[in-house]
Amino acid sequence: MLPQLPEMSTAKWLPFLHTQATPFLFLMLLHIAVFSTVTHTTGAQNTTTAVGSSSTIDLDALIAIKSMIKYDPQGVLSSWNDSLHFCQWQGVTCSPRHQRVTVLNLSSGRLLGSLSPSIGNLSFLREIRVQTNSLSGEIPPEVGRLFRLKILRLHNNSFEGNIPASLSNCSNLQDLHLGFNRLAGKIPDDLGSLSMLRTLIIHRNYLRGGIPPFIRNLTLLNTLSLARCGLGGSIPDFFHQLSSLRRIALPGNDLVGTIPPSLYGLSSLEELFLDNNQLTGRLPMNLGSILPRLQLLSLNDNRLTGPLPPSVLSSSALEILDVTRNNLSGKIVITSREACNLRVLSLSSNHFGSGEDDEKKLIDALSFCSKLEVLDIGNNQMRGFLPESLWNLSTKLSFLSLASNAFSGGLPSSVIFQEALAAAASLRI
């Protein structure tokens, strides 16, 4: 029977073998030891080869991307040559450990050309930033291979064709910005699986099919912009499921119907753009209190009716309000003067006016708004004497319109007011 070897390193086996093992056994175990060493070395070489192969994949992909750029006036890609390792090329960031490309940033380079499908081979990519160039052609569906991708910014280019449904495979995507392109067709429902998405901006394209229902699934969304895409349809009533929303931009989409109640339930909302649609209905009287953080409200060029809620103008958070060219009516009331942060107030081309001679109270209240830059209440049905408080309006005022109303009396003769007028960019009385 052969002796059982104790558990010890190869170096410790040798003395034991000389004393207790046969020469044949010694040679056999020595062969095993040498084979193990060779196998370990070969494995290390294979690992090196694998890393080298991965680097080659990234290098080949970058070279393919460069080959599709036809014009590079700023020399953004001038460093993309053999004199430097590709991780040192301009716009390329690699992971320190694996030397794999993690960020491709070619933004604002005035690049002319298209985006190579080989970008899908950069499997470690976390960010693609090629915005503000002149790239055209279709968005490569191969981008959908990049499951590590968190940021995809392709805006301000000339990409055309459909939005690839394959983007839904980028399950870690947080920031998707495809605005200002020439994309067409429907927004693919597959994007509803992007549960990590926080920013979805597809504005200024040529889309159809209405506001997609899948948006209700994007519960982490804080910015949604589908502005001026011509989507059509109505505003769906699912916004109560998107409690993280801070900014909603849906102007210029030929939207019809009323503003849904769930949209008014977003207490964290800061900016709301619904202008240039065909929306109807009345604004809730408690609008200012149910949207306490609202800083910007743009509702111009719709068909809204009824009064302007006093709670809106009395909100201390509101900075910009534009309801120009609607069918709003009634008396304009500001109930609070404690904190006014209004910078722009555009109420023109409505039917505001109470028929009473106290419309001047609006001017009195606005005189407390020290940040006011634009005041446009022209083309309404307001009446009464222009008050002396008019000269107390903000010294930052650059546009003032009171035209096409029924105001009476002359302008205040205050020297301070005359100086304010001299500083103003435009005045319409």
**Over the stretch 110-120, which tens digit does the pLDDT of each residue have?**
999 999 999 99
The pLDDT, as a whole number, for residue 149 is 98
Which residue would you say has higher pLDDT here, 159 or 395?
159
Q: Check whether 67 has a pLDDT greater than 50.
A: yes
User: With pLDDT > 70 as the criterion, what percentage of the chain qualifies?
Assistant: 82
Query: Dihedral of CA 138/141/145/147: which sign?
Result: positive
Of 85-89, 179-183, 281-285, 352-356, the one with minimum mean pLDDT is 352-356
Q: Which residues pair with 201 in a beta bridge?
A: 177, 225
**Of the candidates 89, 136, 130, 131, the residue with the CA atom closest to the CA atom of residue 112:** 136
pLDDT value at 248 more than 50? yes
Is residue 211 within 8 Å of 238, Cβ to Cβ? no
Distance of CA 415 to the CA centre of its chain: 47
Contacts of 209 (CB under 8 A, 6+ apart): 185, 186, 187, 231, 232, 233
What is the pLDDT confidence band of residue 73, given thresholds at 50, 70 and 90?
Answer: very high
Give the chain's end-to-end CA distance (angstroms, integer).
Answer: 116
CA dihedral (416, 420, 422, 428) positive or negative: negative
pTM beyond 0.75: yes
Q: What is the pLDDT of residue 3?
A: 40
Interval 206-217: pLDDT, tens: 999 999 999 999
The whole-angstrom separation of Cα 339 and Cα 227 is 32
Instruction: Tell me the pLDDT band of 43, cut-offs 50, 70 and 90.
Output: very low
Residue 391 has a pLDDT of 82
Find the largest Cα–Cα distance for the chain: 124
Question: Quick one: residue 135, left, alpha or beta (phi over 0 = left, psi -120 to 50 = alpha)?
Answer: beta
Report the C-alpha gap between 287 and 283 in whole angstroms. 7
Question: What's the confidence (pLDDT) of residue 50?
Answer: 39
More confident residue, 174 or 334: 174
Average pLDDT rounded to a whole number, residues 219-236: 97
The angle subtended at Cα 233 by Cα 232 and Cα 238, nearest 5°, is 125
β-strand 223-225 against 351-352: which pairing, if any?
Answer: unpaired
pLDDT score for 387: 81
Structure tokens at 281: 């209905």
pLDDT, position 309: 94
For residue 352, what pLDDT is reported? 95
Whether 287 has a pLDDT exceeding 80, the answer reads yes
Average pLDDT, the chain: 86
The answer to whether the beta carbons of residues 187 and 209 sit under 8 Å apart is yes
Confidence class for position 412, pLDDT limits 50, 70, 90: low
C-alpha dihedral, 411 to 414 to 416 to 422, nearest 10°: 40
What lies within 8 Å, CB to CB, of 252 at 6+ separation is 227, 228, 229, 230, 275, 276, 277
Q: What is the pLDDT of residue 411?
A: 66
Which of the 8 DSSP states describes residue 293? Answer: T
pLDDT for 26: 34
Is pLDDT of 364 > 50? yes
The model's confidence at residue 29, banded by pLDDT at 50, 70 and 90, is: very low
**Coil, strand, or helix at residue 427?**
strand
Whether the predicted pLDDT of 48 surpasses 90: no
Q: Beta 206-208 vs 223-225: how paired, if at all? A: unpaired
**% of the chain beyond a pLDDT of 90:** 72
Q: Provide CB contacts within 8 A for 154, sequence distance 6+.
A: 115, 128, 130, 131, 135, 139, 177, 178, 181
Dihedrals phi, psi of 328, to nearest 5 degrees: -70, 155
What is the C-alpha separation between 373 and 367, in angstroms, rounded? 12
Q: Is the pLDDT of residue 22 over 50?
A: no
pLDDT computed for residue 101 by the predictor: 98
Q: What Rg do the C-alpha atoms of the chain give, in angstroms? A: 33
pLDDT tier at 37, thresholds 50, 70, 90: very low
pLDDT given at position 28: 39
Mean pLDDT of the region 236-256:
97
DSSP H or E segment with residue 298: strand 296-298
Domains of the chain listed by start with CATH number: 281-429 (3.80.10.10)
Per-residue burial over 102-136, b if 16 or more Cβ lie within 10 Å, else e, is bbbbbbebebebbbbbbbbbbbbbbbbbbbbbebb
